Amino acid sequence: MAGKPKLHYFNAQGRMEPIQWLLAAAGVEFEEKFLKSAEDLEKLRNDGYLMFQQVPMFEIDGMKLVQTRAILNYIASKYYLYGKDIKERALIDMYTEGMADLCETILLLPLCRPEEKDAKIALIQEKTKNRYFSAFEKVLKSYGQDYLVGNKLSRADIRLVELLYYVEEVDSRLISRFPLLKALKTRISNQPTVKKFLQPGSPKKPPTNAKSIEARNIFKF
């Protein structure tokens, strides 16, 4: 019998987190293998486990997958979170790719220079209200459904809820104008496996902090 899937990354918030969210929503138990030093990363490279010399790396079904999108696509397909046909998958891809820019901006906020921080926050607030949240609120309202695609939970919904938590860390008021997004956040957060993932002591990492910055410096990513 195959063991639990294994996720290799450093012990901080980063590219591993959307994989953790998706596994939690799918109800999949997995092991975390943390890289504690540059030498740990070099060992994975020398052993030939990192095709492009980068983590995250995810061991599942006898494979050692790299590249975050490829890992997410595999998990979503395996656990029926990727739509029922090619049209639904196209929408799911479009929505998740659309969120990537804002997610990245928020995650990198603690790394910007102090004199740039207020401007970055203002940009996040503007993009959140007028570009991202309004667009996804419209999708939910237009289709009159609980989820973004096919009225069934998909990786797009999970990624959106992850983004809602990120935005809340920056400005908790931003979601107040979007009742359907608030309802989606509550609905998914209350699913048993996601609720467990959100509890203290779970694999979910705290907001980007000094540990994340230290890890970035060690691994040069």
DSSP 31-73: EEEE--SHHHHHHHHHTT--TTS-S-EEEETTEEEESHHHHHH
Strands lying side by side in the sheet with 57-60: 31-34, 6-9, 57-60, 63-66
What is the mean pLDDT of the segment spanning 137-161?
92
- Write the pLDDT tens digit of every residue in 162-206: 999 999 988 989 999 999 999 999 999 999 999 999 987 666 665
- Write the pLDDT tens digit of every residue in 69-82: 999 999 999 999 99
Helix axes 17-26, 68-78, angle to 10 degrees: 0
- Write the pLDDT tens digit of every residue in 69-125: 999 999 999 999 999 999 999 999 999 999 988 888 888 888 888 898 899 899 899
